[in-house]
Amino acid sequence: MQTRSLGTSGLTVSPLGLGCMGMTWAYGAAPDKAEMVSLLRSAVERGVTFFDTAEVYGPFTNEELLGEAFEPIRDAVVIATKFGFDLKADPAQGPRANSRPENIRAVAEASLKRLRTDRIDLLYQHRVDPEVPIEDVAGAVGELIREGKVKHFGLSEAGAATIRRAHAVQPVTALQSEYSLWQREPEAEILPLLEQLGIGFVPYSPLGRGFLTGAITAETVFDKTDFRARLPRFQQEAMAANQALVDLLARIADPLGATVAQVALAWLLAQRDWIVPIPGTTKLSRLEENLGAIDLVLDAGDLAAIEEAASAVAIVGARYQPAMEAMTGR
């Protein structure tokens, strides 16, 4: 398989990674653990080397899953995990950040045990903590890097000023934020900044949490345990309006012999050669479909048609509920 470098850091990974959150959390009942271990190892067999998890996914169970799956083949994979949420906070009061240096170290030590490894390849701050200066966060991760427990530092959903300040203390290898054909906010300020600083970009939800696969329609009803049921963009009226984008992409995909998902991922890969999307899935068939995007070459005409389709549709609905939305772009 081809490889990509995340900026100028020297961290080289497969062009597509695998987001693992849904294997234990967020999208309804968790799949069978043994099946997910098998899927993770199947991904490695197909050339995927980059896997994304976090302590909050579960909590904890997602990291434990990856630890079990990858312990026998640890050197074949790059594992990214995250700190930054206060897991002791009352959920009823909404999400709270916790990036105090002592918590960063405690989370990293616990993650190492759950992942059954001696190092975390890429450690992200999951969300910016307004109560802790980003310089203190970068310094704490820098200490872990010097100790060999962490290899690279990352940020998630951070704004331009925060990225600059963090990078001045401890070089940032990658930024992970939502980016797709229905979430293009990073294009205005973030992508030029990352290019300037030599930082890689890891788009999460590159398929719009499944919407850009074409498998979700306005008639789709989500289980109450599926967090999309609470998201503004996945309410019936919003999905009905946003279906126009999928319909337009389908018209572009058909002549290419591709699926809508493959076109959406290939479009992302074409934006910069240091972008590495991490679509998630719990199905081998979807994994193989997504990997097909790596070999889908979009020419200038294809990219222009996609741009025209995307600009013709005004996406309806916020990405998150207000409390979570407020934690992005800081």
Active site residues: 57
Beta strands in 92-132 (DSSP E): 122-125
Which contacts of 31-40 are long-range, i.e. CB under 8 A and separated by 24 or more positions?
31/282, 33/65, 33/68, 35/282, 36/65, 36/69, 36/282, 37/65, 37/68, 37/69, 39/282, 39/283, 39/284, 39/287, 40/65, 40/66, 40/69, 40/70
- Kindly state the tokens that stand for 233: 């963009």
- 164 burial via Cβ count (<10 Å: 0-12, 13-18, 19+): middle
Query: Distance (Å, rounded) from C-alpha 146 to C-alpha 169?
Result: 13
- Distance between terminal CA atoms of the chain? 36
Query: Distance (Å, rounded) from C-alpha 222 to C-alpha 234?
Result: 9
Query: Distance (Å, rounded) from C-alpha 118 to C-alpha 291?
Result: 29
Query: Distance (Å, rounded) from C-alpha 83 to C-alpha 26?
Result: 18
Task: Find out whether 61 and 31 touch, Cβ atoms under 8 Å.
Answer: no
